[in-house]
Amino acid sequence: MVARYTTSESVTEGHPDKVCDQISDAILDAHLAQDPMARVAAEVMVSGNMVHVAGEVTSTARVNVTDIVRGVIRGIGYTYPDLGFDADGCFILTDLHEQSPDIAQGVLREKDFGAGDQGIFYGYATDETESLMPVAIEYAHRLTYRLAEMRKNGLLPFLRPDGKAQVTFAHDAQGRPERLISVVVSTQHTQEVSEETLLRGIIGQVIAPVMGEWLRRDTRVLINPTGRFVAGGPAADTGLTGRKIIVDTYGGIGRHGGGAFSGKDATKVDRTGAYMARYIAKNVVAAGLAKNCEISLAFAIGQTIPEMVGVSVEGKSKVDTDIIAEAIRELFPLSVSGMIDALALRRPVFQKTASYGHFGRMTEERSWEKTDRAQILRKRCVG
């Protein structure tokens, strides 16, 4: 008996919103590379062949924003003028100014950083995949990453940067992924490619290698459901920093506090709080204390420690959640400065997180994906 379905989507690095996220984080990284204490909140909008960069920056760094913008766009693959948006031809408007002094006085405390804003921040982990990510978003990201890979290595030369993927899984009564219901892939392509070539290429080089044994005769597969996807990217759709927050996190499984990540330095607890919450949740699951775990942290602007630390699990936890919450407060640094130091968030590592999800991939820069506190957490909770 099927208990539930889960569906998640991912978008490629060439999606207009993701173009903005990557530019925002590249600007952040450029400042951090020169000034690790830089305070940055960079927002980007793309529309047509225009890029508008705005926000607040307080830093000793000297950064050529125009060069950064063009470099990001070029790296994504928008190098064809006929796409209507290209790295060398786009118009760039920049409006960056210093952080408000009213906010700064709450952040720059005498001995510790205060939170740059109020809010509730969530982290989630589940044992249904090796990455401890929900299965639907895990595979959606794999599909969009594969699309970009096939475009860049030339195996599918008719692909263009914009694209999306969506997968639906059925779960059994115990919540385990049981069956792949559907796969949807939408990808921008050249005008001259035939429908047969496109379909064969996407099935053979993208869907089959990624989904593997999950594919069955009754799996519903949709590729470019409208039949055509030539016009794409910022030329066809306006993009904004921070608009793909569900893609960035857990694909709709688990809650999201509402704050976006990209373009924000580590004093912005939208980002740091969510990263720490993921780190904690992942260690709880890796410790075997629960099959899934959602951590919530609430901060008030200017305050150094959270107002609330919440632990939530589906079904029966192996340990009372109050005990887990108490252990978390003891074993994880939850002050703003403590989180920044523990996760090494003063490094210029953020552009790499701005596409294909901030969570789930074990790479050097993603310190929040480690499970190095699982053993001590289990010992504290179980004995």
Q: Which residue has the tokens 């786009």?
A: 90
Which H or E run contains 149?
helix 135-152
- The predicted pLDDT at position 14 comes to 98
pLDDT at 108 over 80: no
Range 119-127+266-382 classified under CATH 3.40.220.10: no
Give me the chain's average pLDDT, please.
Answer: 92
Select the CATH number that applies to the domain covering 2-11+135-233 from these four: 3.40.50.740, 3.30.300.10, 2.40.50.140, 3.90.1660.10. 3.30.300.10
- pLDDT over 80 (residue 383): no
Question: Which conformational region is residue 233 in: left (phi greater than 0), alpha (psi within -120 to 50 degrees), or beta?
Answer: left
pLDDT digit string (tens) for 20-53?
999 999 999 999 999 999 999 999 999 999 999 9
Q: Are 307 and 321 in contact (CB under 8 A)?
A: no
The string of pLDDT tens digits covering residues 252-291 is: 998 888 789 999 999 899 999 999 999 999 999 999 999 9
Tokens read off for 10: 């991912």
- Ranges in the chain annotated CATH 3.30.300.10: 2-11+135-233, 119-127+266-382
Q: Helix, strand, coil: what percent of the chain each, to 5?
A: 35, 25, 40
Contact 52, 251 (CB under 8 A): no
Give dist(CA 183, CA 199) in Å, integer.
Answer: 13
What amino acid is encoded at 282 in this protein? Answer: K
Q: Any idea what DSSP says for residue 205?
A: I
- Alpha carbon distance 167, 144 (integer Å): 11
Band (156; pLDDT cuts 50, 70, 90): very high
Residue of 85, 94, 93, 87 lying closest to 49 (CA atoms): 85
Say what the pTM is. 0.94
In this predicted structure, what is the pLDDT of residue 319? 83
